[in-house]
Amino acid sequence: MEGISYLTNSDGVRTAIVIDWQLVEELEVDGMTLEDFFDVLAYRERKDEPKEDYLIFRQRLINEGKLHVSGSHQ
């Protein structure tokens, strides 16, 4: 994305982000907050990741003991 640079360590892993201030000002003019902007970035980075059905995901967390539910909505 234009106006965004990533700093990487010697292994090529992203460790920081540099955002052109003009881009930030343009976001503010469009009514977008910096938090909104980072939400869009996160979406774009993850949009091609495999999808998992919510109920299947939820059941997997229950089975792994990572989610504890009470009541009849199990």
For 5-56, the pLDDT digits (tens) are 999 999 999 999 898 888 878 777 778 787 887 888 888 888 899 999 999 9
Domain ranges of the chain: 4-63
pTM: 0.42
Two structure tokens written together for 19: 């955002």
Is the Cα dihedral 29, 35, 37, 40 positive or negative?
negative
Nearest-10 crossing angle of helices 21-29, 34-46: 110
